[in-house]
Structure 1
Amino acid sequence: MDYRKEIDGLRAVAVLSVMFFHTGFSFFSGGFIGVDIFFVISGYLITTIILKEMEAGNFSLIQFYERRARRILPALFLVLFISLPFAWLWLIPQDLKPFSQSLVAVSTFSSNIFFWISSDYFDTAAELKPLLHTWSLAVEEQFYFAFPILMMFTWCLGKRWVVGLLSGIFLFSLLLADFWSTNNPTSAFYLLPARCWELLAGSFIAFYSTSSLRRDVRLCISEIGAFVGLSLIIFSIIIFDNETPFPGLYTLVPVVGTVLVILFAEPATVVGKLLGHRSLVKIGLISYSAYLWHQPVFAFAKQRIVNGPDIYVLNALIVLSLVLAYFSWKYVETPFRDKNLISQKKIIVFSSVFSLFFVVTGLIGNYSGGLPDRMKEKDNLTGIELPKINNGWCFYSIDTISYLNTGDEGTACWIGDKSSDIRGVLFGDSFAAQYEPLWHLAAVDAKVSVNSITTNWCYPSVNDEYTGPLASRAFSQCLYNRTYLAENASSYDFAILSGDWGDVLKQGKLEGTLRLIQSLAPTLKLIVLMASPKQFDFDIMASFKKSIFLDTNFDVSRAPHVKDYLTLNAHKLLKEASDKYSNVLFVDRYSMFVVDGRLSDVTAENIPFSLDGAHISIYGSKQAAETFLKSSQFSEIKERLR
C-alpha cells in the first residue's frame, strides 16, 4: 500500500496525547483517547494489507502472523528485558509480585485479561504499574488472531457479506461497550468484546478505500472532512477526563474523528500538511516504541521518587521516552522487519525463547511472593494489614475472602471484655473494621464487650444504598447486616458507627447514615461516630516501605491529600448531626492521631498510621488507641456507659 506520511503524523498525535495525559497535564485530561486513535489506524492499515493480498489470492495466515511477530515482539521484549533490573532494584515485594504476574500475561498476550481480573477493592494506583499499557497490545493481538481467520472463512461469500457480518459485530461491540461503560466499566475498558468495534471502524475505511465505491472528492470537501475530524480528536483530548464513560458512545467522538482524518486528510489539505510535518512524522515513525517505553519510564520514576516526580522531571521523562524510542526503532524494530537480516526461522526461535524466559521469570517472581528476601530486616513490620477475619480479627471481607459465606457468620465477632454485660456493636464497612484493634483495647479498658459487624462497602445506613458494586457478595452480606442491626439494636447498650465518609458524601448517600442515627438514638445509651483517618491521594505505607527499601528519607508532609477535602466536609456534617442528640458523640481525629501534642499522620517512630492511603493498619489502630485511651472523649464515653 502507498505510504501516507499524514498517518504517521496522526500516530504522533496519539502517542503524545497518551504521554502528556500520564504527566497529569490538565490540558490533556482526555489524552487516553490516543489508544483509540491507534486502534482505528491499526484496523485500517492491517485490513488494507489483508484485503489486497486476498484479492491477489496470495494471503497467508502464517506470513500474516510472522509480520505481526516482527512488528510487535522485538521492541516489546527489549522493554520487558530492560525493565527487569529496575523492578528488582526498586519494587517492594507487594509491587514486584503483580509486576511478575503481568510479565507472564504480557508474554501470552493476555495482559488485558490480567489487569481486568486484578483490578479490585485494594488496587494499586494505575500509574505505578510498569506494564499496564500493554493491555492495548493484548486487545490488538487477540483481535488479529481471530480477524484474518474470519476473513478467510467468509471471503468466498463476497465482500458485501463480509462487510455485513463485520457490521453486525461492530454494532454488537459498540452497544456492549456503551452498556458496560456504566454497568461494568472495568470490563468495558480492558476486554476485546467492548473494544473490537474501534478496530473494525478502521477496517471499514479499508473496505471503502479498496472498493469501487471510492470516489475522488473536491479539495474543499476534503478540507472540511479533515478539519472536522482533527477537531473531534482535539475536543476529546481537551474535554474528556477520567469521569467520561469509556469506551461507550462517547468514544465515537475520537473514533469518528480519526476515521474522517484518514479518509480526508490528503497531502494537499491543511490538516494533511500539518500532520505531514517532518517533526510529527518522525515521532509517528517511533510511536510504537514510544508507547512501549513511556509507561515503564514513568512508572519506575514514580516508584523510585517516593513523593512523586515534579513537572520538570516529568518533562524530562517524556524526552527520555522519545530518545529510547528512537534507538529501539532504529536498532531493534527496523532490523527485525527485514527478512533478509532475520529469517522466519530466527524470528520463531527468538519469539519462543524470550516468551519462555519472561514466563519463567514472571512465575518465579509470583510464587516467591515478590522476592521478599530483598527487603531489609528493619522493613519487616508487623500489623501492616487490615484486621480481617482470617488474621485473628473480625472484618468480614467477603469480597476478598472466597471461603466466607453470606449470613449470620458475619454478625458475631466479639472484641474487648467478652465477659461484660455492657454490650456494644461496631458497625460499618472496612473503615469501621480498621478501628477493631483500637476498640478492642478501649473496650478492655472500659470493661465492655463489642460485637464487630463489618463488611466491604457497607457503610452505616438504614436502606439498601451501597457504595460498592451491587453484583458483589458483599452487597448481600451488607443487607443481612443492616437487617440484623434493625432487629437487634435493642439488645445493645451502645453503637459505634464508621464508614468511608468522604466516599459516602461523594455518592450523595450520607442521608442514610443520618436516618440510622435517628432510628438508633431512642434505643441506645450512646452512639459513637468515628472520624475517618486522613485520606491521601496514594498509598502512604507503600511509600514508607519504599523509602526504607531505597534508603531515602520519608517525609509525610509532602504527601498530597486532595481527597481528604470531601472527608473533612463529611466530618463537619456528622458533627452537626451529633450535636442534635444528647447521646450521640462524634470522635474526631484529635482524639486518635496525635503525637507530641500535635495532630500527626505518623506515629512517634515516623511510621504511617495509614495502611494504604485510606485505611489505617492494625499497627496504626493500636498506636491511635494510645492517644484515644487518654482522650477526654474516651473518658466521656466510659462515664456515659456506667
Structure 2
Amino acid sequence: MANSFPYRPSIDGLRAVAILAVLIFHLHPSWLPGGFVGVDVFFVLSGYLITAVITAEHQHGNFSLGKFYQRRIARLFPAFIVMAAATMAAAALIYSAQDLASTGESLATAAASVINLRLMLQGAYFELSPDAEPFLHCWSLSVEEQFYLFYPILLVLLLRRSRKLLLIGLLGLMLVSLASCLVITPLRSPWAFYLLPTRAWELLAGGFLALRRSHQETGASMMLASKFFPWLGVALLVASFILIREAAGFPGYQALFPVIGTLLVITGTDMPRGGGVQRILAAPLLVSIGKLSYSLYLWHWPVFSFVDYKLLLLEETPRAFLKTAITVPLAIASYRFIECPARAALNRPASRRFALAALVASLAICIPTGLAIRDRNYLNVRDISKGKLTFNRTRSAGSVVLLGDSHGSMYGQMAKQLADELGYRLTVMSASSGDPLPLASADTPEGESLWSQSLAAVRQDSPDFVIIACQWSGKLDHDGIRLKRALDELRPLTRRIILLTQPPRLPPEATRDAIRKGARPPFHEEGVQKSRRMVVNADLLARASDRVLVIDLESLFHDSSGAIPFWDSEGHLLFHDRGHLSSHGAQRVRSLLAEALKKSP
C-alpha cells in the first residue's frame, strides 16, 4: 500500500478533526451541536482513500480483491472483537437483564455488519436509550463495511473499461444516492440516516474526487485552488459542527455541507506544496490523534454509555472527565497493542487465509453468542408464526403459560426463575408490540394473530395456570368485551387464570437522561395516565373469582407518599423505561406470583 499510495499526514489530521467533533458532541451535544457530522467526514475520507488505493494498485498491476479484503479485516476486525468482548463483559455487570438482552442482539448485528438495519427498524415502542446501546456507534462501521462489499468490484470492472465510463458511472450512482437521501429524509428520517443507499453518495463523493485528482495535472490553477478551497472547506466544516442540529431534517440537504467541506479540504492535501490548512492538519498532535481515531471511535461510545448508565447522579463535568480519562488510555492501548500488531501480522501475504478464517470463526462465535444472550435475558416471542417458547419440558410438578404483550415479556425471566424453583413447565407466548387479546367480535377471523396463537398454545398445553400481563390501558376497550371473551375461552383450558394489574407509568422527567440533567425524585404518575390505568385495573380486580386470581401491583410501586420508586434499596433501577419494569422491578412481583402459583388450582 505504501508503494502505490503515499502516506499523507494531513489525512490523519482531518481524521483527528472528525473524531474530536464526534467525541465532543457525545460528551455533551450542547458543546458542539453538529459534531455528529464528523461521521460524514469519515465517510468521505473512506471513499477517497479506498478509491485512491485501488486505482493506484490497479495502475501498477498489483491489485487483488483478496488483498483488499485482507487489509480491511486487518484494519477493522481485531480491535472490534476485543472491544466487543470487553463491552459484553461490562454490560453483564452493569445492565439490567432487558438491557443486556438488547446489547446481545446489538453484538450479533454489529458483528454481522447490519446493526444499522436493526436501529432503523427499531420502533418507538421501546424508547431508544443511548446509554443502554453500547454498540450504537457501530452503525457507521456497518454502512462502510456494506459499501466495501460491492464498491471495489464495481470500481475494478469500470476501471477495465474506460476512464469516461468510470467517471460517468460513479457520478450517476452518487447522484441517485443523493436524490434518494433528499427524498427519503423528510418521509422517513431514520431510514435516510441509517441506510447505505441514502449514505453511499458521501463515500462515492470521496471516490469521485480521488478519480478526478488522479487524472489531473498540477497546474497554476490547481495550485491556487489547493490554497483557496481548503480554507473554504474548513469554514463549511466549522459551520456544520456549530449550526447543524440532530433532528428529523438530517441527513437530507444538510449533509451536503460537511461533505463538500471535506472534499474542499482534501483538495489541498495531495499537492506537493500545500497551503496553511495542510500544514495545520499535518501538525504532530493532530496526526497522532488521527492515527488513534479508529480506536477512539470504537471505545468511546461503550465507555460513555456505561458511565452515563451507572453514574446517573454524578454531575455533568465529572462524568465528562471520567469518560475522557477512561477512553483515551483504552484507545491508546488498543492502538498500540491490538490495532498496530494485528495489522502488521494479518497484512502479510502468508496470513491471508488465516485472516479470513479468523474473521469467519469470530463471526460464528459472536453472532450466536449475542443472540443467545438476548434470548436468555428477555423471554419474548419474536415471531408468532414460529410458535411458543417452552422451558422445563420434562417437569411434571405443574405447568404455566405466560401470555401478554411487552408487559408480559418483562416478567418472562422472573417467571422462568419461578418455574425452575417450583419444577413447573413454562410456556411463553408474550410478544412485544403484540395484541394478546381477541377482537371484540367472536365472528371476526383471527388469522395468525397473537391471540389465536396464544389460544392454540394453551389448548395444546392444558396448563395448570395461565398468567396474563398486558398494557391494559392501551388494550382494554371501555366495555371490557375483549377481556371477557379471552377469559371465557381460556377457562375451560386451564385450572386458574392469573391477571397482573398494570404498574404505574413514570412521568417524562423520570428517565435516566432527565435525571442526568437534574431531575430528582419524588416522581408521580401523570394524572390522565393514572386515571386511565386505575380504571382498567379496577376492571381487572372486579373479575376475580374462584378461577380467576388478580394480583394487584399498586402497593409494590408506590411509597407511603404515593410517589413511584425509581431505585430499589440496593440502587438497582426498577424501570426499564417509562412504562416497563426492569428485571429488578419484576422481582418485586415475584413473591406474590410465587404464592399464587403454589396454591392448588
Q: TM range, normalised to the smaller chain? A: 0.5 to 0.7
Q: Does 1:130 align with 2:134?
A: yes
Q: Which moved more, 1:155-164 or 1:188-197?
A: 155-164
Question: In the TM superposition, what are the counterparts of 1:39-50 in structure 2 within 5 Å?
Answer: 39-50=43-54
* Residues 169-227 of structure 1: per-residue CA shift (max 9 Å, x gap): 11111111122211111111111001100000100111011103654546654333111
- CA shift at 1:330, angstroms? 1.5
Decide whether the 8 Å contact of 1:100 with 1:361 is kept in 2: yes
Q: Does 1:400 align with 2:433?
A: yes
- CA shift at 1:73, angstroms? 0.4
Q: Does 1:241 align with 2:204?
A: no
* Residues 220-272 of structure 1: per-residue CA shift (max 9 Å, x gap): 54333111101111111111122251221110000000000001256642222
Q: Does 1:359 align with 2:367?
A: yes
1:180 to 171, 179, 184: 184
Secondary structure of 1:29's counterpart equals coil
Partner of 1:311: 317
Partner of 2:540: none
- CA shift at 1:359, angstroms? 2.0
Q: Does 1:295 align with 2:301?
A: yes
Question: In the TM superposition, what are the counterparts of 1:254-265 in structure 2 within 5 Å?
Answer: 254-265=258-269
Partner of 2:109: 105
Distance 1:296 1:233, change over 3 A: same
Partner of 1:534: 507
Counterparts of 1:279 and 1:616 in 2: how far apart (Å)?
47
Partner of 2:143: 139
Partner of 1:423: none
Counterparts of 1:604 and 1:23 in 2: how far apart (Å)?
25
Counterparts of 1:334 and 1:87 in 2: how far apart (Å)?
27
Partner of 1:600: 563
- CA shift at 1:275, angstroms? 1.5
1:232 to 236, 247, 256: 236
Distance 1:273 1:369, change over 3 A: same
| TM-score (ref. length: structure 1) | 0.63
Equivalent position amino acid for 2:319 in 1: V
Equivalent position amino acid for 1:139 in 2: V
Partner of 1:335: 341
Question: In the TM superposition, what are the counterparts of 1:27-42 in structure 2 within 5 Å?
Answer: 27-42=31-46
Equivalent position amino acid for 1:343 in 2: S
Distance 1:559 1:611, change over 3 A: farther
Counterparts of 1:31 and 1:601 in 2: how far apart (Å)?
37
Equivalent position amino acid for 1:39 in 2: F
Partner of 1:274: 280
- CA shift at 1:600, angstroms? 2.7
2:377 to 355, 369, 372: 369
Q: Which moved more, 1:341-350 or 1:197-206?
A: 341-350
- CA shift at 1:313, angstroms? 2.3
Equivalent position amino acid for 2:9 in 1: K
Structure 2 gaps, min length 5: 381-390, 392-401, 412-429, 445-450, 452-470, 484-503, 530-556, 589-601
Distance 1:404 1:211, change over 3 A: farther
Decide whether the 8 Å contact of 1:18 with 1:35 is kept in 2: yes
Structure 1 gaps, min length 5: 374-381, 392-396, 414-429, 440-447, 454-530, 541-555, 572-592, 624-642
Counterparts of 1:200 and 1:108 in 2: how far apart (Å)?
23
Question: In the TM superposition, what are the counterparts of 1:464-479 in structure 2 within 5 Å?
Answer: none
* Residues 30-88 of structure 1: per-residue CA shift (max 9 Å, x gap): 11101100000010010001111222232211111111111110111111122222122
Counterparts of 2:300 and 2:577 in 1: how far apart (Å)?
26
| TM-score (ref. length: structure 2) | 0.67
Decide whether the 8 Å contact of 1:535 with 1:561 is kept in 2: no
Counterparts of 1:370 and 1:324 in 2: how far apart (Å)?
31
Q: Does 1:52 align with 2:56?
A: yes
Secondary structure of 1:331's counterpart equals helix
Decide whether the 8 Å contact of 1:534 with 1:601 is kept in 2: no
Counterparts of 1:250 and 1:173 in 2: how far apart (Å)?
15
Counterparts of 1:608 and 1:234 in 2: how far apart (Å)?
42
Counterparts of 1:116 and 1:595 in 2: how far apart (Å)?
39
Secondary structure of 1:182's counterpart equals coil
Counterparts of 2:32 and 2:167 in 1: how far apart (Å)?
35
* Residues 573-628 of structure 1: per-residue CA shift (max 9 Å, x gap): xxxxxxxxxxxxxxxxxxxx9854x56343998899995554477999xx9xxxxx
Counterparts of 1:557 and 1:80 in 2: how far apart (Å)?
28
Counterparts of 2:405 and 2:516 in 1: how far apart (Å)?
23
Equivalent position amino acid for 2:565 in 1: V
* Residues 499-555 of structure 1: per-residue CA shift (max 9 Å, x gap): xxxxxxxxxxxxxxxxxxxxxxxxxxxxxxxx9962136359xxxxxxxxxxxxxxx
Of all paired residues, the percent bearing the same amino acid is 30
- CA shift at 1:28, angstroms? 1.0
Partner of 2:597: none
Equivalent position amino acid for 1:401 in 2: G
1:168 to 172, 192, 198: 172
Partner of 1:88: 92
Equivalent position amino acid for 1:167 in 2: L
Distance 1:569 1:283, change over 3 A: farther
Secondary structure of 1:264's counterpart equals coil
Partner of 1:637: none
Q: Does 1:433 align with 2:474?
A: yes
- CA shift at 1:117, angstroms? 2.3
Counterparts of 1:162 and 1:100 in 2: how far apart (Å)?
42
Secondary structure of 2:197's counterpart equals helix
Decide whether the 8 Å contact of 2:139 with 2:194 is kept in 1: yes
Decide whether the 8 Å contact of 1:301 with 1:309 is kept in 2: no
Equivalent position amino acid for 1:600 in 2: A
- CA shift at 1:432, angstroms? 5.2
Q: Which moved more, 1:342-351 or 1:87-96?
A: 342-351
Secondary structure of 1:193's counterpart equals coil
- CA shift at 1:349, angstroms? 3.1
Counterparts of 1:363 and 1:41 in 2: how far apart (Å)?
33
Decide whether the 8 Å contact of 1:173 with 1:195 is kept in 2: yes
Partner of 2:490: none
Decide whether the 8 Å contact of 2:79 with 2:334 is kept in 1: yes
Decide whether the 8 Å contact of 1:29 with 1:237 is kept in 2: yes
Partner of 1:158: 162
- CA shift at 1:451, angstroms? 7.1
Q: Does 1:190 align with 2:163?
A: no
* Residues 342-391 of structure 1: per-residue CA shift (max 9 Å, x gap): 72233233223322221232132122135999xxxxxxxx9998768999
Counterparts of 2:109 and 2:403 in 1: how far apart (Å)?
31
Distance 1:432 1:29, change over 3 A: farther
Distance 1:280 1:603, change over 3 A: closer
Question: In the TM superposition, what are the counterparts of 1:427-576 in structure 2 within 5 Å?
Answer: 433=474, 534-536=507-509, 538=511, 560-561=518-519
